[in-house]
Amino acid sequence: MRDDRGRTRGWQRLSTTLTHRGPYFELRLDDVVRPDGSRGTYEHVVSRGGVTVLAVDDDGGVVLTRQWIYTHGVVQWRLPSGGIDPTDGNAESAARRELAEETGLQAARWCRIGKVSGADSFTNHVDHVFLAADLTEGTAARQAGEADLEVSRLPFENAVDLVLSGQMSHAASAYAILVAAASRTRR
């Protein structure tokens, strides 16, 4: 690509080799032309993305999960979240499914908060973030890897404290809570 002054701009993909395909992601190796015009390779993960849900009850309490996160090797606080499955019609459908699977909750009101890109030089993964309200109880349908998942409700201010103290490091969860906190202070 060239800009209006004739300079090379951006990256150009010449070819892609699929090196691994799994149920949740693909690993690709691309032959590329870099912004400076040199050729090279770029290895990256391609994902369908994920969803994170800030579920708030009628008393302003936030629904949180706590579980062992295999890739990080620690127990983490986070909002209900998970991947977008091939059977999900869209990100909101995935968010509804994940909230119900992990917590048993259904929500009558949904609002898109935004999206978070994580590890941009490594993956195209995007977390779509939603606010869910007017909650009703149901039965969770957790997957085998979620058997240790605990669900808690904390006052909103306590959830903010978890983010600010570094105890909630999941990027989309922190983003959702901080955006909600910022919008509360603007009212």
Q: Are the C-beta atoms of 132 and 109 separated by less than 8 Å?
A: yes
- The pLDDT value recorded for residue 5 is 62
Q: Quick one: which of 186, 8, 165 has its CA closest to 77?
A: 165
Parallel, antiparallel, or unpaired: how do β-strands 106-117 and 126-136 relate?
Answer: antiparallel
Q: What pLDDT score was predicted for residue 53?
A: 98
Note the pLDDT of residue 1.
47
The structural domains of the chain, ordered by start, are 12-47 (no CATH), 50-114+124-186 (3.90.79.10)
Q: Terminus-to-terminus CA distance in the chain, angstroms?
A: 45
Tens digits of residue pLDDT in 105-121:
999 999 999 999 988 88
pLDDT at res. 23: 86
pLDDT at 118: 80
- What are the residue ranges in the chain where pLDDT is below 50? 1
46-75 per-position pLDDT tens digit: 999 999 999 999 999 999 999 999 988 999
Is 115 buried (19+), middle (13-18) or exposed (0-12) by CB count in 10 A?
Answer: middle
